[in-house]
Each structure stands twice: as C-alpha cells, then as structure tokens.
Amino acid sequence: MQEYISVEIKESMGFVYINRPEVLNALNRSVIDELWQKIKTLCDSGVRALIIAGMGKHFAAGADIDEMLPQTPFQVLSHSFNDCYSFIENLSIPTFAAINGYALGGGLELALACDFRVCHSNAKLGLPEIKLGIIPGAGGTQRLPRLIGLSRAKEMIFSGEFIDSAQALSWGLCDRVTDSCPVEEACSFAKKIIQHPKLALISAKKAIQMGVDSSLQEGLEYEAVAFAMLFSTHDQKEGMKAFMEKRRPEFKGC
C-alpha cells in the first residue's frame, strides 16, 4: 500500500509530512485517511505539539480534482474531510501548519484547522474552488471568516484569487513569515509554547475554542471553572511557589 504521510518525532514534537509532491500534495481520500490515522497514533504517543507540512515545494494544492470530478453528491458527503479536520482542530496540543509554496482549497482548510500557520515568504494561499464551480467544503466558509473577518473571507472565496504571505500576515491568516524553513520556524515557535505547563496549555486551548462557539457569558463561565480546576495541579503550586522564591519552576505536567 502506498504511503502518503511521513511521520517523525523530535524533542517531544510530532512532525507530519504530506508526501505526494508529483501532484503538489493534492489531497485524496487515502491521503486524508492516512493523515488522520497517523496523527491519532502520534497523539496517543504523547507528543506535546504537532507540526504539519508538505514534502517538496508545496504544502498542498487542495483536494484532488481528478478524484472529485466524477463524484456524486452522496460520495462527496461520505468522503468529506470534515471529520479529520475537526479532529485536528480539537486536539488538546498546539498545532502548526508549516506552509511552503501553495496552500490552496482543502490544503488551506487543513491549515485553518491548526492553531497557527507559519509561512515561507514564497507561500501562496487561496480558496480557488469557485473557479471549479464549487465552494470550499472542508471548513473554508466557516473557519476563514472567524479568523480574518467576513469581508476578507468573502473576497478570497468569491474571487478565488491567491494571496501572498505578506498579505496573509497582515490579515491574520498567517502568524509568522520566514525566508528560511517554515518547519524550523514552527518548531522554535512550538518549543516556546510547550515549555509551559501542559495542563494549563490544554485548559487555555479548550477555553478559547469553547468561547469562540458560545456566548460571552457561557465562555466566561467555562473559563472560570477551567481556571479554578488548575488550582488542583502540581504545576500551579510549583509555578507560584517558584515565583515567590525567585527560582525557575520545575513543572511536571500534572
């Protein structure tokens, strides 16, 4: 069986590479199934952060048009990328898309399911589905406006045009731009984050995610409980004690 996804673990971080460079890492059902399975396995092994990238010159040029062309509506629904992308969005660890070259359509939607997008300066981002007579179908019409606002999302989706990394940075679609390797950049970004106590990071991510999908009052109530629960952890006592004793804390992740 052909393997489309390569995986590596380094310094407690999981690296996942989409490996189909001959078609600019276009995503078909087999790629998505393998991606989902390998990310699950990585997370079960206890990695503290996840970095997703593309092999070769590009992140991913979208869903595989050759596979989609003959599909019926029923096949499209049963082959949706949504379950995989929602699984990634709901992971408790910080997630990063490290983007080289094109991140288009389902490729950009994969990046949108991550917490952060780190782009090479050559990156081109877009949702060109409109040019094929369809719309983004794996979260693009939902996650993009939440991230960059209605008008900018409508501009990208209605025009199908690509934006470069500088534009993406100024719109808040990407979080870092680098002239060197975006995986390395994402890696140093991740390292800064995962030095912090694991349970506080999990709680922060969950509270932010809950808040985005609920009313302010519901979000505040969730936050208050999550905040209070952290006072049952070793790392809260240690963090505050170390501050008072003017020393470096020794966190244990519990």
Q: Which residue numbers are catalytic?
A: 109, 129
CB of 28 to ligand COA, least distance (A): 8
Mark 93-126 as b/e (b = at least 16 C-beta within 10 Å): bbbbbbbbbbbbbbbbbbbbbbbbbbbbebbbbb
Query: Of 26 and 113, which CB lies nearer to ligand COA in the complex structure?
Result: 26
- From 38-46, 101-109, 168-176, 198-206, span contacting ligand COA (CB under 6 A): 101-109
- Return the residues of window 105-144 that contact ligand COA according to CB under 6 A: 105, 128-129, 132
Helices (H), 160-213: 165-171, 182-194, 198-212
Residue 61 lies near ligand COA (rule: CB under 6 A): yes
From 7, 12, 19, 23, residue interacting with ligand COA (rule: CB under 6 A): 23
Query: Of 55 and 65, which CB lies nearer to ligand COA in the complex structure?
Result: 65
DSSP 219: H
CB of 58 to ligand COA, least distance (A): 7
**Phi, psi angle pair for 203, to nearest 5°:** -65, -40
Query: Of 133 and 192, which CB lies nearer to ligand COA in the complex structure?
Result: 133
Query: Of 105 and 197, which CB lies nearer to ligand COA in the complex structure?
Result: 105
For CA atoms 191, 126, 103, 111, give the dihedral sign. positive
From 54, 62, 94, 182, residue interacting with ligand COA (rule: CB under 6 A): 62
Rounded to whole angstroms, what are the CA distances from 99 to 74, 121, 173? 32, 9, 12
Query: Of 28 and 233, which CB lies nearer to ligand COA in the complex structure?
Result: 28
Query: And the tokens for 69?
Result: 């062309």
From 7, 43, 55, 65, residue interacting with ligand COA (rule: CB under 6 A): 65
- From 18-26, 143-151, 184-192, 217-225, span contacting ligand COA (CB under 6 A): 18-26
Q: In what order do the strands lie in the sheet with 102-104?
A: 102-104, 124-126, 163-164
**Phi-psi label, residue 125: left if phi above 0, alpha if psi -120 to 50, beta otherwise:** beta
| CA–CA gap between residue 104 and residue 26 (Å, rounded) | 9
Residue 161 lies near ligand COA (rule: CB under 6 A): no
From 102, 116, 189, 251, residue interacting with ligand COA (rule: CB under 6 A): 102
Binding-site ranges for ligand COA (CB under 6 A): 23-24, 26, 61-66, 102, 104-105, 128-129, 132
